[in-house]
Structure 1
Amino acid sequence: MPHLPDIQTRLTPGMGFDAALDAALGLVGDAGFTAVIYDYTPVPRTHDGVLITPNILEARRVPADMMQLWRSGFYQLDPVQDAALATAAPFVWSGLGRQSRVMETVLCRRHDPVLGYMRDMRFSCGVTVPIHHPGGDLATFTAICIDPDTDFSERAGALAPLVGVIGQSFHEIARAGFSGETRRSRHMRLSPREAQCLSLCAEGLTAKEIARKLDRSVPTVTLHLNSAGRKLGAKNRFQAVARAAHYRLLDAAL
């Protein structure tokens, strides 16, 4: 089982993403796990509560079809991701047996396809580390045991803090290399001018005042505001501003 000095030696700042994920797999492998998954999203859910497929979704030693399934819709049905949004502590889950308390609070029939896949693939247990950022970003690092020894699931809870340290250490290395594009939500996009007009609207400016500030005509500003509202599915400008803020489209607009 790895110790803190091992983690610090094998996961070091400046490593590339792939090398760091391989090192993280080796560390959790020393503790008895067989696979890892990592994902990162700047905005975890849509404005109406649906999980957004993350900007980064990478794995090591999972079944060959798993990442394709998750990118094509299984991610939205994954109870582990729902649980990760409900807690900040590493937690244990199982595809075959007893669930931890946080998993029990989120499980419903909607998750049946993913639970069925876990059973079929013999995902006996896993430990997921939720990593929440103040701006709302979410990353998860998951160590999985596929067909472990019969007593491993009982030990997984005791290993959760260790997986937490490995997951956090890996994430800090990975996050240091994120581009600006990676840190922006890909679920919803506005043009720079649409975002700028909505940002000024959020400050309380009228279309006439925005037009004066940007040296554009009022009809042009109105066109941008209406276009942004349609993209966001908003009924009015107040809702458009709220939804744009949810997707963090106003953060760098001005």
Structure 2
Amino acid sequence: MARSLELATGKPGSAIRPISAETVNLVRIRTREDVRRAAEALHQLAMDAGMRAAPAHDIADKRTPVDHEGNILASDVFGWNAEKAWWRNSRIALDSPLTSACRFTGEPFWVNAQGFRTREPNGYLAAIDLGNFEARAMTRAAIVVPVHLPFGQIGAVSFNPLDTAMTDLEEAFASHGDAFGLYARTFIASYVQVMGARQALPPGSRLSKREVECLRWAAIGKTDLEISMIMSRSRPTVRFHIHNASTKLNAVNRSQTVFKAAQLGYISLGT
């Protein structure tokens, strides 16, 4: 993949390849041996737009994607040096406004010290503290793609301008935001699928209608006795359904059963 002329100036340009099935497949991972090749493709797509990608498969974990031999892609492929080794910052998951925003939106956005910009308004982002932005975000501006995965895991890829003085990414976001979103989601989701250490749930974990109904009431604080009265079932029957759900979801207690059921979309914890 030829590099664009924009790389000479480090300014986000328009040389990124058009979205196509072929281009998406470049960043898709099918086997562990594919990881480095897909990372190199994502790196090149970002560089062609005058950006450098920073991938994280789990924003709650300071570890970042590695290839099948355990080499850290952030440094080996994406070119982040020791000075900008953001994944070694133990506070970044809690303190960075970029990771904070990924918990409140599933859509690409761009951000600098003056605020977040999204396709659609998002009041949660407006409430995030942007004080001391550059030090906490470790960049002056970035286009960020949150990647919401099964079981509540959140990944992300931020795209940072090669021109480190640049703070206005409006044009780059308009030109590349959707493409970056597709490439980042494909790379991170397929990485997690292939490199995941184990299944998060045992086989046969599908919940029954009664189990879901009991958990919906449990989620809003109802006791077994109250649920039995609401559902016109005996208390032992309610306990039976909740216990079955707990076993299926490999949960250790009632609270974790409710939480895992919500992660899988069986119930909602929203008001």
Q: TM-score range by the shorter chain?
A: 0.5 to 0.7
Structure 2 portions without partners, runs of 5+: 1-15, 66-72, 202-235, 245-250, 265-271
**Corresponding residue for residue 128 of structure 1:** 144
Residue identity opposite 2:152 in structure 1: G
Residue identity opposite 2:36 in structure 1: D
Residues 171/77 of structure 1: CA separation in 2 closer, same or farther (3 Å cut): same
- 1:34 counterpart SS class: strand
Residue identity opposite 2:191 in structure 1: A
Residues 148/182 of structure 1: CA separation in 2 closer, same or farther (3 Å cut): farther
Alignment equivalent of 2:57, drawn from 36, 39, 55? 39
Is contact 1:125–1:145 with CA below 8 Å preserved after alignment? Answer: yes
Is contact 1:77–1:114 with CA below 8 Å preserved after alignment? Answer: no
- 2:58 counterpart SS class: strand
Is contact 2:95–2:136 with CA below 8 Å preserved after alignment? Answer: no
**Corresponding residue for residue 214 of structure 1:** none
Residues 137/150 of structure 1: CA separation in 2 closer, same or farther (3 Å cut): closer
1:10-21 pair list within 5 angstroms: 10-14=26-30, 16-21=34-39
How many angstroms does 1:177 deviate by? 0.6
Is 1:107 paired with 2:128? yes
Residues 73/183 of structure 1: CA separation in 2 closer, same or farther (3 Å cut): farther
**Corresponding residue for residue 179 of structure 1:** 196
Is contact 1:79–1:106 with CA below 8 Å preserved after alignment? Answer: no
Residues 182/141 of structure 1: CA separation in 2 closer, same or farther (3 Å cut): farther
**Corresponding residue for residue 43 of structure 2:** 25
Alignment equivalent of 1:3, drawn from 10, 13, 18? 18
Structure 1 portions without partners, runs of 5+: 42-51, 185-200, 211-224, 229-239
TM-score for the superposition, normalised by structure 1: 0.58
Is 1:137 paired with 2:156? no
How many angstroms does 1:38 deviate by? 2.2
Identity of aligned residues (%): 15
Residues 55/62 of structure 1: CA separation in 2 closer, same or farther (3 Å cut): closer
Is 1:116 paired with 2:135? yes
- Number of matched residues? 187
Residue identity opposite 2:18 in structure 1: H
Q: Distance in 2 between matches of 1:54 and 1:165?
A: 23
Is contact 1:91–1:160 with CA below 8 Å preserved after alignment? Answer: yes
Residues 12/86 of structure 1: CA separation in 2 closer, same or farther (3 Å cut): closer
Alignment equivalent of 1:241, drawn from 251, 254, 257? 254
Alignment equivalent of 1:85, drawn from 86, 100, 103? 103
TM-score for the superposition, normalised by structure 2: 0.54
Structure 1 stretch displaced more, 169-178 or 55-64: 55-64
CA RMSD of aligned residues (A): 3.9
- 1:128 counterpart SS class: strand
